[in-house]
Amino acid sequence: MTSYAAVDLGASSGRVMLGRVEADLLELREVSRFSYRPEVRDGALRWDAALLRRSVEEGLRGLDVRSVGIDSWAVDYGLLDDSGELLADPVCYRDSRTDGVVDRVLAAVPAEELYGVTGIQILPINTLYQLVADPLAQQAAHLLLIPDLVAYWLTGEIGAEYTNASTTQLLDVHTGQWATGLMDRLGIPSGLFPPIRQPGSAIGGTVVVAVGSHDTASAVYAVPALTSRFGYISCGTWSLVGVELDRPVVTADSLAANFTNEAGVGGTVRYLRNVMGLWLLEESLRVWGLERDPLLRAAASLPRRSVIDPNASEFLPPGDMPSRIVAACRNSGQPVPVDPPEIVRCILDSLADAYRDTLLDAQRLSGKEIDVVHIVGGGSRNELLCQLTADACRLPVLAGPVEATALGNLLVQAGIPDPRRLVAATHEIRRYDPLA
């Protein structure tokens, strides 16, 4: 049978997945896993580009596949010189270099105008603000987002895949082309940006195929929805929460609600808002040195007591997450969680509330109603989170598949005509009905 390789790069680890796709078959197995947490070097929090490249190349070595697709997290990039070499290791979006940059940008281009052109949620992690803060931008010849950088290492070809390019806040949401006028006003060299590639196109005549290279674009492509009346939560380190539309929403109300219009595979719009996601839990577990499952079981036996705003800026950087959560509860006058299970329960109740609020806003602003919520990605295995989300949203939650991103990557490569129906027919999806 025909095999495909999906290189799936998360914000702390990556995998190479080998998949088989036929009319009634969709199989996936992991063949390589590697880690690459960002570290402070040369005055910034950076990704180790050499380690990332070596890990991907070693993971692909010896595989007999029809094609390879690459997806990753959004907004981060590498800058190349005229000879095609990296000027420096890419800076991680969690670095503090963008502190205060949003205000500088909005002083030059009002938020209403910026949103009207790009349709993208104003977040300091966006590529736009990183570039304004990056002194190397004026010296570089090319900018490549992370999956495009990996594709360049494999093929020697320079380009920008459409779905990930849309997350930069530098793509025109109406034309699908780079917003060069906006770049000129902000002093960002427009010559940095390569031609746009569409998902499904071969890269330079090689076996590498552009997929929905923003991991959420691939994940949403693999949501096993059988009707259009669904909301989605792509739940991992970040949670991307929203609905799928045919056209962008760039109204003043949408801007005020901080919603984003990211490009989806097949010309769709992923109308969504970022929620901090399982980063809060992952970082707490790292600080405690404890296992996830026993804490989730203990948290499930506890009542709801306190909630936080998971998108508050103090929760973005790495560090002592539990202490920050305790401080947020204390400062808001709520009961203070006193041990890890209580903190975990606070995190998950807070995420469920944020998911509910985001989906309600998405429906109100877009006019699209939903009957069901699909949770895909790693969070779909978190039974407590899924149940709390169903309770908060007062809608059934369908959880799975866990590997939606890699599956969406494979499905674009294979060109399957009805990908969501194939996912629904070949993967176990667990249903959670509201209890509260």
Is 38 found in the same domain as 109? yes
215 is catalytic: yes
Domain boundary among 213, 245, 265: 213
Is 263 found in the same domain as 163? no
3-state secondary structure of 415: coil
Is 91 found in the same domain as 174? yes
Q: Which residues contact 305 (CB under 8 A, 6 or more apart)?
A: 334, 335, 337, 342, 345, 346
Whether the Cβ atoms of residue 173 and residue 248 lie closer than 8 Å to each other: yes
Give the separation between CA 157 and CA 146, rounded to whole angstroms.
14
Is 231 found in the same domain as 191? no
SS3 per-residue string spanning 52-100: HHHHHHHHHCCCCCCEEEEEECCCCEEEECCCCCECCCCECCCCHHHCC
Whether the Cβ atoms of residue 380 and residue 234 lie closer than 8 Å to each other: no
Is 205 found in the same domain as 347? no
CATH code, domain carrying 245 = 3.30.420.40
Is 265 found in the same domain as 196? no
Whether the Cβ atoms of residue 387 and residue 432 lie closer than 8 Å to each other: yes
Give the separation between CA 401 and CA 380, rounded to whole angstroms.
7
Q: Which residues contact 50 (CB under 8 A, 6 or more apart)?
A: none
Q: For the chain, how are helix, strand and coil distributed in percent, rounded to 5?
A: 40, 20, 40
pLDDT in tens, the chain (436 residues): 689 999 999 988 999 999 999 889 999 999 999 999 999 999 999 999 999 999 999 999 999 999 999 999 999 999 999 999 999 999 999 999 999 999 999 999 999 999 999 999 999 999 999 999 999 999 999 999 999 999 999 999 999 999 999 999 999 999 999 999 999 999 999 999 999 999 999 998 889 999 999 999 999 999 999 999 999 999 988 899 999 999 999 999 999 999 999 999 999 999 999 999 999 999 999 999 999 999 999 999 999 999 999 999 999 888 999 999 999 999 999 999 999 999 999 999 999 999 999 999 999 999 999 999 999 999 999 999 999 999 999 999 999 999 999 999 999 999 988 999 999 999 999 999 999 6
Is 146 found in the same domain as 257? no
pLDDT at 436: 66
pLDDT at 6: 98
Closest CA to 17 of 42, 34, 41: 34
Whether the Cβ atoms of residue 180 and residue 168 lie closer than 8 Å to each other: no
Is 198 found in the same domain as 220? no
Look up tokens 């109406």; give the residue. 174
Is 269 found in the same domain as 199? no
Whether the Cβ atoms of residue 321 and residue 282 lie closer than 8 Å to each other: no
Is 241 found in the same domain as 205? no
pLDDT at 27: 95
pLDDT at 237: 87
Q: Which amino acid is at 359?
A: L
Closest CA to 372 of 418, 417, 424: 424
Is 316 found in the same domain as 206? no
Number of domains in the chain: 2
Global confidence as pTM = 0.92
Q: Which amino acid is at 95?
A: D
Structural domain of residue 91, as residue ranges? 3-213
Is 207 found in the same domain as 289? no
3-state secondary structure of 377: coil
Domain boundary among 155, 190, 213: 213
Check 71, 148, 215, 361 and give the catalytic one. Answer: 215
